[in-house]
Structure 1
């Protein structure tokens, strides 16, 4: 028996990186998935790699738009008949020191991460409370725990996701809906591997396990929180950091 057999998940930012890794492990564990992403062509290609329309659909989704989030959820309901898991993963970075960061850069990151996660959480919760079951997994970051230089916008948004998740968990527990968060650390990706060597080495020196994480290692924790393996957990924040900043 697979962990998510017969269940349907929406994954925002699901066309690549951590989002795609989450969608991939969900499908392997029996779920049908809807990939919500700003880039519909990349999302379509990702859905094809997951097995096509029988198990995966792609929709254009700007998470700052409640209507787009509605469309992602409605696609799940229309194509697969349920919404059992919501993963709010979509994100951007606009790094700059506080002295040089523009108001637009601050607002963009807050809108995508914090407002986007709020949109996904509240829209999914409205469906899940009616069926009295469901799991919401919000992707935060270790930057929301400790704060990072050049990321007053990102750190604030990711810390906000923790508070949002805990408050939503308290509101939704008696409706049978669980809300948890994941805080990844340095995860290997095209973006992180493109950073200057000096910056990479400095971050690596902070990790007791001595290596960067892989997207699949974050996906495995998201799977745990989405499945019945974590049936008595809500409002939890799980770090996937290799021990960094523990």
Structure 2
């Protein structure tokens, strides 16, 4: 990042804007005097960084910043008033295409990124797509800014980003649904609530970390466990026969359809 680059976050007090801003500051990626945050509702996310400039006017932010991060709800895009003047704009909005963002903010140097909630603990996944007007230097900057909160991955097409909005953009939603079902069943079996919750969360978190560390294909892991022909195999077979895979596919298809409804 150029030593004089100023980054502005519209929605900098919200959960995603705050996660990114604080990560840049804590990692020394950006000094506080080169961060500008705007928020209509105010907030004290940067109370420990008094040199961060907090404003209420997005137009003031656009004048001060070299790079503008849009971290607002998709339905709020129509109410965003600013002229980016050809500056690099990083949009974190679902259901808002590069063209829609460009038309609204006055710049075709637009990057779309889809974060998820794990960014708050620096384990987020940020797939992103850059419009053709985004330079190689811009791309390097975007990668550095986004991977400060986890893993960032440049995508070859905007269509890919629409799909990953439905998949990785869900954050903890799908694991939470699985955890809910496991927890309900454990409670019905008479397991004390504290123990049931601990068992479910440790199983899901530990299993996910093991999958990531082993680097094996999930299908291979499932087949390996079924081949053991023990209690886990019985559970897996019953879930597969009940249509768990098809239910997940239907859910992703529904989410993907909604993500394609770009404005």
The bucket for the TM-score relative to the shorter chain is 0.3 to 0.5
Bigger RCO (CA 8 Å, 6+ sep): 1
TM-score, scaled to structure 1: 0.46
Greater Cα radius of gyration, structure 1 or 2? 2
